[in-house]
Amino acid sequence: MSSACTCHIDLKQCWWCLYEAEKAKVERYERALKFYANENSYVTDIGSFKIEATVMIDKGNRAKEALEG
């Protein structure tokens, strides 16, 4: 993790480190949310050509990855 903090103290004791960790988490969640919020992820046909929706192929993997970090 890239951080400007060089405190080297316990991550749970340093507000800056906690802030950096939370910020990275929110960015991860936001990327996952944008995928599920995107209408294109639910498209099941292109003209007469049937395709499986991207979210069905994904099976929640993006959400799981975002939660696990």
Provide the binding-site residues for Zn ion, judged by CB under 5 A.
5, 7, 14, 16-17
Name the residue nearer to Zn ion (CB basis): 22 or 65. 22
Name the residue nearer to Zn ion (CB basis): 3 or 54. 3
Helix (H, G, I), strand (E, B) or coil at 50: strand
| Closest distance of CB 25 from Zn ion, Å | 16
Name the residue nearer to Zn ion (CB basis): 17 or 55. 17
DSSP one-letter code for 13: T
62: number of Cβ within 10 Å: 19
